[in-house]
């Protein structure tokens, strides 16, 4: 069993060597891993600014800076979990349904082996494919979803699959335990108040940014911990964060989370039965000084650290037999 540790920065400076997520080993065989970080460089589902196909590559580069101990959670995740960069899904840049099938094929195998997937987009359309695989393994899941959009529209230019529809499709396909779905950071102008009707009628919880500003982080954390009964998926659209902190994205909405709030709210997933996660919608061509990719990289580290804390302090996720 090879060691799954980040490359030692005292032997090889952090800016040296081909970039992998958090300087972890790149492996192709996922067997024996606890957690796999997987790139999904697909942006054929975007409706406005493109470029998130370059997300995984740039997030790898920015993640080189990350050091391996998490003081706030008091955990060294790579001493607790076997985590590796498993490369990218070879997507079909010209076909969303074929890309979904390719994502599912990779994830089905991973989940079959008991590996927890953390996917790096790519646009948000990929989350539907990931959820299909996760649910095949775990049954319908709760979801903590950070975004400025609910992504529950019905269709766009006659297409049912794009980055504005993944969670409506997921509800229709019975992938989500809707009463344990919480969407955080929702804001901005929409077409009409009808746009919120789908979520309302299916009993998912929406925490608008105005509500977060009014009630504070503690109240949101309480709502997050309320979805703890059963497996939970985390989907983090970087446009949930304010474009002042995360300008490199396809459909920015002003007035969002700060990066500090984003990290703290992801940290609040400690104790939840987290069975998979994604960080999506980072578009490096619209970024400045790499700040959006740097934030995404740190969110990935936050997620890995939460998984490690769960294993250490909450006996979750259970190791596979």
Interface ranges with Mn ion (CB under 5 A) = 124, 147, 149, 151, 237, 239
Residue 74 contacts by C-beta under 8 Å, 6 or more apart in sequence? none
Q: Which is nearer to Mn ion, 58 or 147 (CB)?
A: 147
CB 152 within 8 A of CB 166: no
Q: Which is nearer to Mn ion, 149 or 169 (CB)?
A: 149
Nearest distance, CB of residue 124 and Mn ion, angstroms: 4
CA–CA distance, 45 with 113 (Å, rounded to integer) = 29
Q: Which is nearer to Mn ion, 58 or 253 (CB)?
A: 253
CA–CA distance, 236 with 147 (Å, rounded to integer) = 7
Nearest distance, CB of residue 317 and Mn ion, angstroms: 25
Nearest distance, CB of residue 9 and Mn ion, angstroms: 34
Structure tokens at 140: 């319908």
CA–CA distance, 38 with 48 (Å, rounded to integer) = 25
Q: Which is nearer to Mn ion, 99 or 316 (CB)?
A: 99
Nearest distance, CB of residue 166 and Mn ion, angstroms: 7
Q: Which is nearer to Mn ion, 162 or 301 (CB)?
A: 162
Q: Which is nearer to Mn ion, 237 or 261 (CB)?
A: 237
Nearest distance, CB of residue 195 and Mn ion, angstroms: 13
Nearest distance, CB of residue 209 and Mn ion, angstroms: 12
Residue 159, Cβ neighbours under 10 Å: how many? 13
Residue 279, Cβ neighbours under 10 Å: how many? 29
Nearest distance, CB of residue 180 and Mn ion, angstroms: 19
Q: Which is nearer to Mn ion, 22 or 257 (CB)?
A: 257
CA–CA distance, 27 with 121 (Å, rounded to integer) = 19
Nearest distance, CB of residue 82 and Mn ion, angstroms: 30
Q: Which is nearer to Mn ion, 259 or 273 (CB)?
A: 259
């Amino acid at each position: 069993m090879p060691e799954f540790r980040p490359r030692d920065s005292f032997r090889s400076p952090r800016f040296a060597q081909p970039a992998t997520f958090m300087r972890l080993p790149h492996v192709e065989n996922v067997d024996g891993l606890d957690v796999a970080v997987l790139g999904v460089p697909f942006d054929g589902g975007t409706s406005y600014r493109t470029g998130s196909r370059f997300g995984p590559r740039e997030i790898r580069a920015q993640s080189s800076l990350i050091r391996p101990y998490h003081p706030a959670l008091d955990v060294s995740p790579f001493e607790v979990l076997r985590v590796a960069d498993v490369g990218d899904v070879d997507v079909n840049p010209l076909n969303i349904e074929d890309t979904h099938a390719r994502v599912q094929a990779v994830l089905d195998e991973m989940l079959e082996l008991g590996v927890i997937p953390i996917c790096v987009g790519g646009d948000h359309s990929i989350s539907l494919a990931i959820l299909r695989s996760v649910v095949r393994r775990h049954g319908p899941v709760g979801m903590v979803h950070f975004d400025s959009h609910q992504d529950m529209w019905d269709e766009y230019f006659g297409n049912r699959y794009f980055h504005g529809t993944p969670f409506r499709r997921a509800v229709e396909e019975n992938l989500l335990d809707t009463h344990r779905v919480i969407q955080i950071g929702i804001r901005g102008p929409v077409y009409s108040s009808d746009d919120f009707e789908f979520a309302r009628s299916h009993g998912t919880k929406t925490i608008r940014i105005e509500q977060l500003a009014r009630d504070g982080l503690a109240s949101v954390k309480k709502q997050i911990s309320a979805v703890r009964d059963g497996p939970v998926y985390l989907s983090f659209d970087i446009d949930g964060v304010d474009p002042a902190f995360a300008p490199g994205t396809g459909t920015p909405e002003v007035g969002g989370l700060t990066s500090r709030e984003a990290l703290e709210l992801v940290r609040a997933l400690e104790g939840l039965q987290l069975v998979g996660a994604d960080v999506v919608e980072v578009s490096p061509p619209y970024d400045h000084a790499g700040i959006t990719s740097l934030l995404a990289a740190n969110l990935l580290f936050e997620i890995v650290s939460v998984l490690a804390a769960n294993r250490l302090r909450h006996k979750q996720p259970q190791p596979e037999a």
